[in-house]
Amino acid sequence: CRVRHYKFNVVMKNTTRLCATKPIVTVNGNFPGPTIYAREDDTVLVKVVNHVKYNVSIHWHGVRQLRTGWADGPAYITQCPIQSGQSYVYNFTLTGQRGTLLWHAHVLWLRSTVHGALVILPKLGVPYPFPKPDHERVVILAEWWKSDTEAVINEAMKSGLAPNVSDAHTINGFPGLVPNCSSTKGYTLNVEPGKTYMLRVINAALNEELFFKIAGHKMTVVEVDATYVKPFKTNTILVAPGQTTNVILAADKGSGRYLVAAATFMDTPVVAIDNLTATATLHYTGTLSSTPTMLTSPPPQNATPVADNFTNSLKSLNSKKYPAKVPVTVDHSLLFTVGLAVNPCPTCKAGNGSRVVAGINNITFVMPTVALLQAHYFKIKGVFTTDFPGNPPFTFNYTGNPPANLQATNGTKLYKLPYNATVQVVLQDTGIIAPENHPIHLHGFNFFAVGRGLGNFNPKTDPKKFNLVDPVERNTIGVPSGGWVAIRFRADNPGVWFMHCHLEVHTTWGLKMAFLVDNGKSPNESILPPPKDLPKC
Ligand code: C2O
């Protein structure tokens, strides 16, 4: 195993998109930021130097961080942010992990422009469990705002209303064809006829779940969130913010130019809808560039069936070499409601300063001013409590009147787990204002998505239908609007681990909580001591 060194200079950079130039926060001046390459079991050291006026922290989304929570990155959860002029070396090992992940800023809304790919190749000499593609490409989907994203969210929090949606989506940094701005170029994916390509598709957008599609070509899905899945063919993939999907594309058309598109998943225009579709071009070498792009129908928008079909097709590979280690018994069985509600009184604001009440089990999470992991490790009192409820404080009835979510209380509450406990969390959407999935992300673990359904979760009948054989394993899961998902994981990683909706606006409103996992009995089941350069608050 090797040690890989990277240096991330966080700097402002004037960047032109949609025919306008603005300074954005970047890593090394690039949007999207640099790709980190490593192999399974390698150690990665990234020195992050903050040259901007904002506080910065970087999260390695999906990296397990076994016993190294200090390197996880969410500001005020596992570390204090890196202040202007300061630096911090993130030091972690990619134990038993390979595949595509992403890294992104984890403070304020900086991740809108501060993000990039984390590519973990298998160990040297270990093949993929599918035919080796001839080439590999990273495809990052994201959003672009004409105004400054920090201003967008600050304005929204002041007004108490939902923030503006982005002005465009992007594929590898570019919106592609956009009306009223002919100089906006798109990304070109050059392919050689007859070759195969692995596309490592990452959704780094702040607030939009995206469909991704290539005209005239099917894709074979082989991996999600850095875990192998049973391969299947599809026209369209669905990727939520924080999720990654590896597909194999066979360049079997001989020649031509084909449209590549990313578009949002929204059923009905209720709160925030953005019709803009990002485009790119699949270009066969040897094709004259004057050849017209073949257009296809854009990715579907009223598309719950397409989304469900894709989601239901995802199954763990569960081979001899890559078994699905699903916990079959459960020590902690939890039910968490995931909900938003708009206060009907226009001038009333919830504890988070917004008109929107957001919470898990009616708790609106309040960010502390001391990092939770430090408070836990150094036994600093008064920073958090461990009374996060394992069940909602009301009898949930999705089909009845909306539950009393307006009564949410504020708190920095954690749910405490003994080392190695097996945990089941049913995430129940209360589906009041938005039609979209809530992509819930758990730090520090992968989990198995053992069940999914619409309406209320039924604790008597639904568990009988759980898939404990080959459920998909991931780190971010869409909780369907008006429905639920059940996840299982083993608490084999001591530390403090954030769980939140990966739609940044929902996180800002308070759709977040954290688990505290105790040390085990032996020293190698305990969290390692903090590094010397850990930032101070
Ligand atoms: Cu990718 Cu806590 O986030």
State the ipTM, two decimals. 0.99
Q: What is the pLDDT of residue 321?
A: 97
Residue 200 · residue 136 · CB < 8 Å = yes
What's the CA-to-centroid distance between 67 and ligand 1, angstroms? 18
The answer to whether the beta carbons of residues 487 and 448 sit under 8 Å apart is: yes
Alpha-carbon distance of 102 to 27, in angstroms, equals 14
Distance 180 CA to ligand 1 centre (A): 34
Q: Which residues of 137-152 are buried (b: 16+ CB within 10 A; e: fewer)?
A: bbbbbbbbbeebbeeb
Residues of the chain below pLDDT 50: 267-274, 403-404
For ligand 1, residues with CB inside 6 Å are 59, 61, 74, 104, 106, 242, 441, 443, 498, 500, 502
What confidence score (pLDDT) does residue 433 get? Answer: 56
Which of 225, 241, 238, 214 is closest to 312 using CA atoms?
Answer: 238
Q: Which tokens in the block code for residue 331?
A: 């020590």
Phi and psi torsions of 179, nearest 5°: -60, 150
Q: Count the residues in the chain.
A: 537
Predicted pLDDT at 403: 47
CA of 471 to the centre of ligand 1 (A): 22
Q: How far apart are CA 418 and CA 420, in angstroms?
A: 6
Compute the C-alpha angle 71/75/79, nearest 5°. 45
CB 495 within 8 A of CB 78: yes
What pLDDT is stored for residue 266 in this prediction?
A: 63
Decide yes or no: CATH 2.60.40.420 for domain 1-123. Answer: yes
Q: How far is the CA of 245 from the centre of ligand 1 (A)?
A: 16
In one-letter notation, the amino acid at residue 266 is: M
Cα–Cα distance, 211 to 300 (Å, whole number): 8
pLDDT digit string, tens, across residues 349-405: 666 666 677 889 989 999 999 999 999 999 999 999 999 999 988 777 765 555 445
User: Where does the chain hold its CATH 2.60.40.420 domain(s)?
Assistant: 1-123, 130-316, 332-525
Closest atom of ligand 1 relative to the 500 alpha carbon:
2
Q: Which ligand 1 atom is the nearest neighbour of the CA of 62? A: 1
444 Cα–ligand 1 center, Å: 10
332-525: CATH number: 2.60.40.420
How many angstroms separate the alpha carbon of residue 276 from the centre of ligand 1? 25
Characterise 62 by phi-psi region: left (phi > 0), alpha (psi -120 to 50), beta (else).
left
CATH topology of domain 130-316: Immunoglobulin-like (2.60.40)
Alpha carbon of 259 to ligand 1 centroid (Å)? 30
In angstroms, the Cα distances linking 254 to 60, 216, 258, 440 are 39, 12, 12, 41
- How far away, in angstroms, is 502 Cα from ligand 1 center? 6
The two beta strands, 414-417 and 512-517, are parallel
- Find where tokens 């850990």 sit: 534
- pTM for the whole structure: 0.95
Which of ligand 1's atoms lies nearest the C-alpha of 242?
A: 1
Q: Which atom of ligand 1 is nearest to the CA of 104?
A: 1
What is the distance in A from the centroid of ligand 1 to the CA of 428?
A: 20
DSSP states of 280-338 as a string? EEEEETT--TTSPEEP-PPPPSS-HHHHHHHHHH-BB---SSS-----SS-SEEEEEEE
In this structure, the residue with its CA closest to atom 3 of ligand 1 is: 61
